[in-house]
Amino acid sequence: MKTMGIINTKMFLLILFFGFLSDGFAQQEPNKITIERLPIFQKYLKMAGQTEQKERAAQGAEVARPRTAVVRMTDFHLKDGKLLFGKLVDEDKNKITIEQLEGSKIIVSIYSKRDIDPRTLQIKTVPEYKYYIDLAEYFSGRTWDFTDDPDDFIQAIRCYEKAKLLTAGAETQDNDRIGQIDEKIKQLQADREVWTREVESRAKLKKLEFEAEMENRLKDLQDKVNASTQKVAESVDRLDKAITQIQENHRKLEQSISVMEEETSRRLNIMAEQAEANRRLTDPFYRVPRYRYPYGY
């Protein structure tokens, strides 16, 4: 800044010198010098303007370069002994609000200070780019467990890109760190492509296993149905035999009943004849009509 001021002062003195010089020549040869004096002034005015523009650009660059942003982190114990930590979002005399990691998600939680052990409450600041690098490493470490992996890949890449932007816009730009972040982003993108192919292969394998399992289950079910059908057929056959046996027994029973009826009628007729003969012996003048019992119906 001081050097630029000296250069402007010298430039101003040179312009004044050439101005007086031009006026002197103009008094001697007014028609000739008027034409030549203008390019000289224009040249030095142009140089002065360019110098002033460079000075303003340098000042603008210094103003535009922000300081390194920071994030407040906190950790504390609840009165029941549970440890909690995360990004401090807000704090007042009654409550504290933090961002916490829960699986593949970042959730916002509010805790009353009545539930917090005040002796364990700690607050510290870390560079914002470092916070996002830590988040990216957390989500990157959760990949390949085949549980919310697409979200983990996306979150990790986004956090690395955020850390890259913060590093590039810091007061002292670290090109080596930016290069390392770029390499990690490329590695995550390559891993995601490999993961996608692996998932597709696993999906095909799962499909084949499912089809084979379904085929085995259908075969077992068909075997069970066949066995049940065989048992039903055997039961029907036994039932048919039982019905045939019952019908045969019924026919034999009917025949037996018919024979028994005939035999009973015959014996009743014999008894009636004997009774009539006995009456004749005891009372020869008594006449009783004789009834014949049929031998069947």
Does 124 map to a domain? yes
Q: Which of 14, 46, 64 is where one domain is finished?
A: 64
Q: 34 and 91: one domain?
A: no
Q: How many domains does the chain have?
A: 2
Q: 77 and 34: one domain?
A: no
Does 194 map to a domain? no
Q: Which of 15, 42, 64 is where one domain is finished?
A: 64
Q: 14 and 90: one domain?
A: no
Q: 46 and 74: one domain?
A: no
Q: Which of 44, 64, 84 is where one domain is finished?
A: 64
CATH number at residue 160: 2.30.30.100
Give the per-residue pLDDT at 251: 87
Give the per-residue pLDDT at 176: 86
Give the per-residue pLDDT at 121: 92
Q: 53 and 94: one domain?
A: no
Q: What is the C-alpha radius of gyration for the chain, rounded to an integer number of angstroms? A: 58
Segments forming the whole domain that contains residue 112: 70-173
Q: 146 and 93: one domain?
A: yes
Q: 79 and 163: one domain?
A: yes
Give the per-residue pLDDT at 39: 55
Local mean pLDDT, 10-residue blocks, the chain (297 residues)? 48 58 49 46 57 58 61 92 92 92 88 92 91 91 84 91 85 80 91 87 73 80 88 89 90 88 87 81 62 51
Q: 108 and 149: one domain?
A: yes
Burial class (CB in 10 A: 0-12, 13-18, 19+), 25: middle
Give the per-residue pLDDT at 218: 83
Q: 115 and 156: one domain?
A: yes
